[in-house]
Structures are given as C-alpha cells and as structure tokens.
Amino acid sequence: MNSNNKSILIVTDVFPFPANKNGNTENIYNLIFQLKKQFSFKIDLLYIGAVKNIGSERIGELSKMCDNVFLRNLRNSKFIRFSYFTFKTNFDLKENYETVFFATFLSAYTRFNFNLNAKFILYQADSRTLFYSKLPGIKNTLRYHKFKCEQKWLFSRFNSIIFVSEIDEAEVNKYIGLKGRSLTVPIGCNIDANAANKVKHKDIDLIFTGNFHYLPNSHAVIFFLNTIIPRLILLYPDIQVYFVGRLPTQEMAAKAKQYKNNVFITGEVPSLEEFLLRAKIYISPLYLGSGL
C-alpha cells in the first residue's frame, strides 16, 4: 500500500509536549516528528490521562504535527489498567487504523479496548523485570514477579515489541517466547569522525551522559559518587568527572558538592557532542536498567 494512505494511532498516557519534559515525552515527540518528516502517514494521537493538566496551548502545539489529537480523561494514570471497563470499544474512535502504536508500558493496558484489524506495536524500551532483578530486598523481589506476570500477560497481545537494548530483549525472552516479535532499536549519539580528529586537547577525564529523570541514570551517578570517586581521587587528585544531561536530581547535586574540584554536573546542554569530544573516557556506572 502507498505510504500516503497509511494511518497510525499513537496511544500514550504521557502527553508529549513540551518534548523536553522527560525521556518519555522526548521519545514520543521525536517519533511523531520523524514520521511526519520522512513519510506522509496520517498520524492521530490518543492521550489517556488527566486532561485538566494539559491546557489548550499544549494541545495546539501538538496538533501542528498530528492530524488529530484525541483526549480521554483519567485522573490517575495508574487507573489505566482498568481502561477496558472505563472506556468504550476503540475509545469511540471511528478510524480503522492500520497500525496502533503504544508509546509506554502503561498504555499497553488499553490494548484490550481495541477491536481493530490492525498491527499492534508496543514501545517497551526497558524490561521492568531486568530493572527490579538488580535491586535487593523483598519488596523489589515482589515487584519483579509482579512485572513478570504483567509482561507475560500483555506481550502476547502485540505483533511487535520494541526494546532499546539486546539485554532487555534477552531478559524478556527468558520467560516469554517472543518468537521473532521483538525488535531492538538502540539509542545513542553519533560523533562525527572528522570533528573528533580535530580535537587536540581533552580536558574531561571521565564522562557519563543521560536524562537523569530516568531512575537508573541517577542511581548510577549516586553509586559512582558513593563508591568509586573517593578511590579515584586518592589515585588521581586532579581528575575531572562530568555528568552531562537534563534534570539532575538534588541528591546528585548534594553529593557532587563534596567533590567540587573534581565532579561537575552540567544539567541540560545545547550540544552533547561537544562534551563527548572533550572526554577521554566514557563511563557507564549503570547497575539498573540498560539501553546502551
């Protein structure tokens, strides 16, 4: 079929504007932007969440990219698990979409509302069970088994499931036979080789980048500052370590102050590439999540 005739519905419990609010909003916004830029698909967005917090200006901005923006009010996104009993079949939408793309794990629960002859795709990103399998304590063990049951139950309802790393994909395949229905789409930053060769002086010894609103990233920084940086400073008193990315936590800032001559937290920067080019070594102190 010609791409001009294709229609896609994006389902989300996260309103993707402004795009820079967090990693989820950025992912959804960029998906819509790239689909519109590269193809001529009809793209509708269905937001299920607290409508009163959105505002007409944000809806208007998103409507510039989407053909239609549909809103279904839900006071608390956690209640989306019961959407089958709350909303009508197909959420009372009349379009017979060819593809329905669920942009978050919670939005996957609305799959049961749809009775369409469509391809259903879930952007899972990270495996929830991989996250909690790394954390100690009985509560996290219970969460692990909870998400294992949820993922087994939900994933069987989708034609395709997208992860951001092969590690996450492999974790889920341990207990769910996805049988070719999974796909890994890595995330990262491409560095221009010519620009890299022109850099003569690298003043950053170690660098770690990410959106620190994402819990595994902020945990990684705290882990590094608690256990690794004290030892490194003993060996290399002048070491320069940079944590670059938006939404650093207050805990990160407080810890960094203890090493104000060695540790620098930049917040959001205009060009990530600039900092990566200045760095000698890229570190990844992640012990939760993945996505490298």
What pLDDT, in 10s, does the model give residues 52-77? 888 889 999 999 999 999 999 988 77
Is the N-terminal amide bond of 237 cis, ω within 30° of 0?
no
| Nearby residues of 10 by Cβ (< 8 Å), 6 or more positions away | 28, 31, 32, 43, 44, 45, 46, 66, 101, 103
What value, to the nearest 5°, has the Cα angle with vertex 82 and ends 155 and 60?
90
3-184 and 193-282, same CATH topology: yes
Q: Which CATH class is domain 3-184?
A: alpha beta
Task: Give residue 40's pLDDT.
Answer: 80
pLDDT reading at 247 higher than 90 = no
Q: Superfamily assignment of 193-282 in CATH?
A: Glycogen Phosphorylase B; (3.40.50.2000)
pLDDT reading at 209 higher than 70 = yes
If pLDDT is split at 50, 70 and 90, which confidence band does 5 have? low
Residue spans per domain, the chain: 3-184, 193-282
Between 112 and 39, the higher pLDDT residue? 112
Residue 147 contacts residue 128 (beta carbons within 8 Å): yes
Task: Give residue 63's pLDDT.
Answer: 92
pLDDT reading at 20 higher than 50 = yes
Span 132-180, pLDDT tens digits: 888 889 999 999 999 999 999 999 999 999 998 888 898 999 888 888 8
Residue 252 contacts residue 221 (beta carbons within 8 Å): yes
Task: Give residue 222's pLDDT.
Answer: 95
If pLDDT is split at 50, 70 and 90, which confidence band does 281 have? very high
Q: Report the pLDDT averaged over residues 204-222.
A: 89
Among 93-97, 195-199, 279-283, the least confident range: 195-199
Residue 12 contacts residue 107 (beta carbons within 8 Å): yes
pTM: 0.73
pLDDT reading at 261 higher than 70 = yes
- Percent of the chain predicted with pLDDT > 90: 56
pLDDT reading at 289 higher than 70 = no
Which phi-psi region, left, alpha or beta, contains residue 267 (left: φ > 0; alpha: ψ -120 to 50)? left
In what helix (H) or strand (E) does residue 139 lie, and over which residues does it extend?
helix 138-155
Cβ atoms < 10 Å from Cβ of 144: 18
Task: Give residue 2's pLDDT.
Answer: 43
If pLDDT is split at 50, 70 and 90, which confidence band does 4 have? low
Task: Give residue 119's pLDDT.
Answer: 95
Task: Give residue 31's pLDDT.
Answer: 87
Q: Report the pLDDT averaged over residues 189-218.
A: 81
